[in-house]
Structure 1
């Protein structure tokens, strides 16, 4: 880290701002993580089979919306990544139980 910031200034920053100050790639990588988690949560909870063009439009809008969520985490320290991880786990458990229930229903 180059000495652009004093210790007091670094303490005032959010955790993601501090990481990005140390290495600018961390900001970009965290944005990619937000995009990936947003797509996973969307597919687990809300996705339906769509035509290709509509699916492309939905994913473009997800990428744009992910920037807004990433900015909230970057600038204000909102726990967006943590919430997306928790949402993904809960929706994954729901889908697994739904699949298991449907499989048992078919066998009966």
Structure 2
């Protein structure tokens, strides 16, 4: 007889994680390929959203230009670190939501800084 392996999926997820995991129910049967594929797809989508938001936050927060090799190292570490954070804490903590808030705050800051600098430049001319 085949042993069924079941993973429980939390039902009280944060909004972005809940968006991807909402069709799964409260448990996933690992012997059902369709459910496993849905689980991996949902996790991968949450991971991609988290990576994109982390990259946007990094670009908005750090204005210095880096050399190509340093850029590659930074983004590689960012992608690996984001995977680990999403894997370990992605369903329990609002990582993606926090990155959305950080990106919005940094975007507003950068926009106001740009507006202020262009205003100063117009006053000087």
Say if 1:107 and 1:47 are closer, same or farther in 2 by CA, change over 3 A.
closer
Higher strand share: 2
Q: How far off its partner does 1:69 sit?
A: 2.2
Partner of 2:83: 67
Q: Which runs of 5+ in 1 are unaligned?
A: none
Deviation at 1:101, TM superposition (A): 0.3
- Kindly indicate whether the alpha-carbon contact (under 8 Å) linking 1:20 and 1:26 is maintained by their aligned counterparts in 2: no
Q: What's the TM-score once normalised by structure 2's chain length?
A: 0.69
Structure whose CA Rg is larger: 2
- Count the aligned residue pairs: 100
- Give the Cα separation in 1 of the matches to 2:80 and 2:22: 21
Distance in 2, matches of 1:88 and 1:46, equals 12
1:41 maps to what in 2?
A: 57
Q: Which residue of 2 aligns with 1:19?
A: 21
Report how far residue 20 of structure 1 moved: 8.0
Q: Compute the displacement of 1:46 (Å).
A: 1.6
Q: Comparing both chains, which one has the higher relative contact order based on Cα–Cα distances under 8 Å and sequence gaps of 6 or more?
A: 1
Runs of 4+ more than 6 Å apart = none
- Taking a change above 3 Å as real, the CA distance of residues 66 and 86 of structure 1, as seen in their structure-2 partners, is same
**Structure 1 match to 2:74:** 58
CA shift for structure 1 position 68: 2.5
User: Which of 73, 90, 97 lines up with 2:105 in the alignment?
Assistant: 90
| Greater alpha carbon shift after TM alignment, 94-103 vs 22-31 | 22-31
Match of 2:27 in 1: none
More helix by share: 1
